């Protein structure tokens, strides 16, 4: 039996090597995370058929118009193929419209919906195909960055139609039979746009129309163009069995003219060529990291997470007739020069997604930083949650981390003065209409050193902790820019404000009233209230920049370690009274059999790495491997909570490499435990990072020794800058902890309190 298993193992490895040579994109499962619902998220993802960071994504639509759960794995029917910009079901969509092929004049979203099977569905990042059983039609689509080619294979019928649905809340459509085209716009959005917002779409067919009509509210109208609450077009064809009707589809947030220009991405519209080019592009992007020696399921998980990490933030700019980037400003409603990216929440993505870009795709973050400078100029603030403009969601002022970490890694330097000014501005002000932008409670925070519990600002301890870390980020950028010492000192002082919400009685963070007393009553298991989507046990660790300071507050490393251990061993008890219902993040913690550790949400995702700051790195190694093995799988219920625009995926990517950016803004990755025997990262400048961990396995998860370029390496962190130079790291793994490695303070990762 053992030998047989071994033989299978060899076969699997060699089979995967063949696949890898053909293209790692084949490992991606875009349906990972799609088996989700409001009460329980296993990712809350939809299959985004798109180019990396593409302006327009496309998805089969199972949910009704306006439903954030746009594609759910358990659904029976597809209602259309939607151009989508949705970053999360909770934020919902904007600028969306859909196409649906049908047999018979069936317009409404229920009437036209068709049964489908996952067995007759192919979902890849660059190509999607499904058999629509009720119409006997196969629908295929393949995208470029701003456009897509569609191919519909019809049965023999005189009643073949394609429904174009411009959605409600104000839409427009016009048929141009002589051009075999339909144009229109959708204004549907969920906020975060200027008045007059439109997504202009243009559709060009390769087949002459047998008929063409427009409709509103599901009824055909005698017109060629129509503007109303909810309009669309119905284009008829007479088809022979197996006849293909193809369509080129594009759009623009700028104008119809720009939409036609964006359609040029499709060239002659040759479906198979576009599909092949999309496949090549995805293999280039995902192929930047080659993994070896793992199981096929580990490869599938890794590349599915990789795919999720290079979708958001998306390009929100277009290329004009002069070949220059321009963007519709969701802040002013005007068309502006330059870059803009959107659809990300920094509360999530400052943690690992942006550090991942800084390592592997710095040129993308160059454009993102240029866009952040534009956002500040156009709106007076950096975004915290943008979709496409400022949205009221989450807490913190973590744009400071996104900007400072990039700058300190040499990215966005051309915009440093504007971006630094934006950080100073954001540290003092709150957006008048969107209080999660800037700093809600800045007056209190700057005066008292914390946002009080008993004033009308919710989630005040979470805000205080994140503002303190954000202040440390500003201080680091101030130092690098050579700002005056009193300015640097102001932020150095403020970044210690985390101390003001630490309660020695519980060794936990706790709400603090304006008069200096702590909140009463205090239940450390209470979610929300002083915290954000977590409890005190989850948020106490949000002192990214000064873990030693937290260790000291707790009275030393023994207590600190015991507190970390407690999170993992406590029962999953919770108090959901703040929400009045068991929110999905709570349920995801409760059911995972990992104590009070809530990996399904962001506040705690760095916690396991903190064992390195107190001399017990082997506990980090044990638990990180558990999380990689138990919380991620390349299947429809494969995540353990909301994926959140690449953040929860980037945790896996970094962790599989064997390290994680606990404190963006430092030059350090904190070491965890590698997953693969070999990883090769191709950096943008041609240098390579090689990570070897021969013999690594679920048993051999403990680091015995590390060599960097052949020399024994003692610290429990790697310098980011050293990796960027190209390096070979050898992890020697074993099945028992090496309790002599990483135990001395000089090998600990960065903490402000340990600075000389
Ligand atoms: Ca989340």
Q: Residue 535 Cα, ligand 1 centroid: separation in angstroms?
A: 14
Taking residue 722's Cβ as centre, other Cβ atoms within 10 Å add up to 16
Q: Residue 392 Cα, ligand 1 centroid: separation in angstroms?
A: 15
Q: Residue 334 Cα, ligand 1 centroid: separation in angstroms?
A: 32
For residue 218, is it left (φ>0), alpha (ψ between -120 and 50) or beta?
A: left
660 occurs within a structural domain: no
Return the residue matching tokens 């207590």: 559
- Closest by Cα among 507, 510, 631, 628 to 561: 507
User: What are the residue ranges of helices labelled H in 570-711?
Assistant: 584-590, 617-631, 647-657
Q: Residue 354 Cα, ligand 1 centroid: separation in angstroms?
A: 16
Q: Residue 348 Cα, ligand 1 centroid: separation in angstroms?
A: 7
State how far the alpha carbon of 166 is from the alpha carbons of 202, 230, 232, 254, 622, in Å.
11, 7, 5, 17, 51
pTM over 0.95: yes
pLDDT recorded at residue 6: 40
The strands making up 678-682's β-sheet, listed across from edge to edge, are 289-292, 678-682, 688-692, 727-734, 702-708, 711-712
Q: From CA 32, how far away is CA 44, in angstroms rounded? A: 9
pLDDT recorded at residue 21: 46
Same domain flag for 135 and 224? yes
Q: Residue 601 Cα, ligand 1 centroid: separation in angstroms?
A: 4
Same domain flag for 232 and 352? no
Q: From CA 365, how far away is CA 413, in angstroms rounded? A: 11
Q: Residue 191 Cα, ligand 1 centroid: separation in angstroms?
A: 20
DSSP E strands: which ranges in 126-240? Answer: 128-132, 137-143, 147-153, 157-165, 171-176, 181-186, 199-205, 211-216, 219-221, 225-228, 231-239
Query: Please, which residues have CB within 8 angstroms of residue 142's CB and are 6 or more apart in sequence?
Result: 49, 126, 127, 128, 148, 149, 271, 274, 275, 278
CATH code of residue 486: 1.20.1050.60
**Structural domain of residue 401, as residue ranges?**
344-498
Q: What is the DSSP string of 42-75?
A: S------BS-TT-S-EEEEE-SPTT-S----TT-
pLDDT recorded at residue 495: 98
pLDDT, averaged in runs of 10, over the chain (756 residues): 40 42 90 98 98 98 98 98 98 98 98 98 98 99 98 98 98 98 98 98 98 97 97 98 98 98 98 98 98 97 98 98 98 98 98 98 98 98 98 98 98 98 98 98 98 98 98 98 98 98 98 98 98 98 98 98 98 98 98 98 98 98 98 98 98 98 98 98 98 98 98 98 98 98 98 92
pLDDT recorded at residue 373: 98
pLDDT recorded at residue 354: 99
Q: Residue 30 Cα, ligand 1 centroid: separation in angstroms?
A: 19
Q: Residue 449 Cα, ligand 1 centroid: separation in angstroms?
A: 27
What distance separates the 2 farthest-apart alpha carbons in the chain? Answer: 82
CATH code of residue 170: 2.70.98.10
Same domain flag for 279 and 348? no
User: What would the pLDDT profile of 453-466 be if each residue is shown by its tens digit?
Assistant: 999 999 999 999 99
Domain stop point among 441, 472, 498: 498
Same domain flag for 56 and 128? yes
Number of separate domains in the chain: 2
User: What would the pLDDT profile of 441-455 be if each residue is shown by its tens digit?
Assistant: 999 999 999 999 999
Residues whose beta carbons lie less than 5 angstroms from ion ligand 1: 601, 642, 644
Q: Residue 642 Cα, ligand 1 centroid: separation in angstroms?
A: 5
Q: Residue 345 Cα, ligand 1 centroid: separation in angstroms?
A: 10
Query: Please, which residues have CB within 8 angstroms of residue 5's CB and are 6 or more apart in sequence?
Result: none
Q: Residue 550 Cα, ligand 1 centroid: separation in angstroms?
A: 24
Domain stop point among 430, 464, 498: 498
Q: Residue 167 Cα, ligand 1 centroid: separation in angstroms?
A: 29
Domain stop point among 498, 521, 554: 498
Q: Residue 328 Cα, ligand 1 centroid: separation in angstroms?
A: 28
Q: Residue 194 Cα, ligand 1 centroid: separation in angstroms?
A: 27
Q: From CA 547, how far away is CA 611, in angstroms rounded? A: 10
pLDDT recorded at residue 22: 72
Alpha carbon distance, N-terminus to C-terminus of the chain = 58
Q: Residue 755 Cα, ligand 1 centroid: separation in angstroms?
A: 33
For the record, the structure tokens of 465 come out as 């902790």
240 occurs within a structural domain: yes
């Amino acid at each position: 039996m053992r030998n047989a298993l071994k033989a299978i193992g060899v076969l699997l490895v060699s089979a995967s090597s063949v696949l890898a040579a053909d293209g790692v994109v084949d490992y991606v499962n875009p349906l990972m995370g799609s088996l989700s619902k409001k009460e329980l998220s296993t990712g809350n993802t939809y299959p985004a058929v798109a180019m990396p960071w593409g302006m327009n994504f496309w998805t089969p639509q199972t949910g009704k118009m306006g439903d954030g759960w746009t594609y759910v794995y358990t659904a029976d029917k597809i209602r259309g193929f939607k151009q989508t910009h949705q970053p999360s079901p909770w934020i919902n969509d904007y600028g969306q419209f859909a196409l649906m092929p049908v047999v018979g004049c069936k317009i409404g979203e229920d009437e036209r919906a068709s049964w489908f099977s996952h067995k007759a569905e192919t979902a890849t990042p660059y190509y999607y195909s499904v058999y629509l059983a009720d119409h006997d039609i196969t629908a295929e689509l393949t995208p470029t960055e701003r456009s897509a080619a569609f191919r519909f294979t019809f049965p023999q019928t005189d009643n073949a139609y394609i429904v174009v649905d411009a959605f409600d809340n104000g839409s427009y459509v016009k048929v141009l039979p002589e051009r075999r085209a339909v144009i229109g716009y959708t204004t549907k959005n969920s906020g975060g746009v200027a008045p007059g917002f439109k997504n202009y779409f243009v559709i060009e067919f390769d087949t002459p129309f047998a008929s063409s009509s427009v409709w509103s509210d599901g009824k055909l109208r005698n017109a060629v163009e129509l503007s109303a609450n909810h309009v669309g077009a119905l284009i008829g064809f007479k088809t022979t069995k197996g006849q293909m009707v193809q369509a080129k589809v594009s759009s623009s947030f700028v104008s119809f003219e720009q939409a036609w220009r964006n359609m040029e991405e499709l060239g002659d519209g040759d479906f198979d060529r576009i599909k092949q080019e999309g496949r090549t592009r995805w293999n280039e992007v995902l192929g930047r990291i080659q993994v070896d020696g793992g199981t096929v399921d580990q490869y599938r998980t890794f590349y599915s997470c990789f795919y999720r990490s290079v979708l958001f933030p998306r390009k929100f700019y277009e290329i004009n007739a002069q070949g220059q980037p321009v963007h519709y400003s969701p802040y002013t409603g005007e068309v502006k020069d330059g870059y803009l990216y959107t659809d990300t929440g920094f509360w999530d993505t400052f943690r690992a997604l942006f550090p991942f870009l800084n390592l592997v795709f710095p040129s993308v973050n160059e454009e993102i930083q240029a866009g952040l400078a534009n956002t500040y100029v156009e709106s007076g603030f950096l975004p915290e949650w943008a979709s496409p403009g400022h949205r009221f969601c989450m807490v913190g002022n973590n744009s400071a981390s996104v900007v400072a970490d990039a700058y300190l890694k040499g990215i966005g330097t051309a915009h440093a003065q504007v971006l630094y000014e934006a950080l100073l501005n954001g540290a003092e002000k709150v957006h008048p209409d969107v209080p999660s932008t800037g700093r809600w409670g800045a007056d209190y925070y700057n005066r008292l050193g914390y946002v009080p519990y008993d004033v009308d600002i919710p989630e005040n301890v979470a805000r205080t902790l994140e503002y303190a870390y954000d202040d440390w980020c500003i201080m680091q950028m101030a130092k690098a820019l050579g700002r005056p010492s009193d300015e640097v000192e102001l932020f150095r002082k403020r970044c210690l404000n985390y101390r003001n919400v630490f309660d020695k009685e519980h060794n936990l963070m706790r709400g603090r009233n304006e008069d200096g007393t702590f909140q009463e009553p205090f239940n450390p298991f209470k979610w929300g209230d002083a915290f954000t989507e977590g409890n005190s046990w989850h948020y106490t660790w949000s002192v990214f920049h000064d873990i030693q300071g937290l260790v000291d507050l707790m009275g030393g490393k023994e207590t600190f370690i015991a507190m970390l251990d407690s999170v993992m061993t406590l029962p999953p008890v919770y108090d959901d009274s703040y929400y009045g219902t068991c929110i999905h993040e709570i349920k995801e913690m409760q059911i995972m059999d990992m104590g009070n550790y809530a990996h399904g949400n962001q506040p705690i995702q760095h916690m396991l790495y903190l064992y390195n700051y107190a001399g017990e790195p082997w506990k980090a190694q044990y638990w990180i491997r558990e999380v990689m093995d138990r919380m991620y799988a390349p299947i429809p219920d494969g995540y353990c909570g909301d994926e959140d625009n690449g953040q929860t995926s980037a945790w896996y990517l970094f962790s599989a490499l064997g390290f994680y950016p606990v404190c963006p803004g430092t030059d350090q990755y904190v070491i965890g435990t590698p997953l693969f025997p070999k990883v090769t990262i191709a950096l943008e400048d041609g240098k390579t990072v090689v990570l070897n961990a021969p013999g690594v396995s679920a048993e051999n998860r403990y680091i015995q020794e590390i060599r960097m370029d052949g020399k024994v390496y003692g610290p429990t962190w790697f310098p980011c800058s050293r990796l960027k130079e190209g390096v070979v790291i050898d992890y020697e793994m074993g099945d028992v902890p090496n309790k002599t490695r990483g135990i001395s303070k000089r090998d600990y990762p960065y903490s402000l309190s340990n600075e000389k």
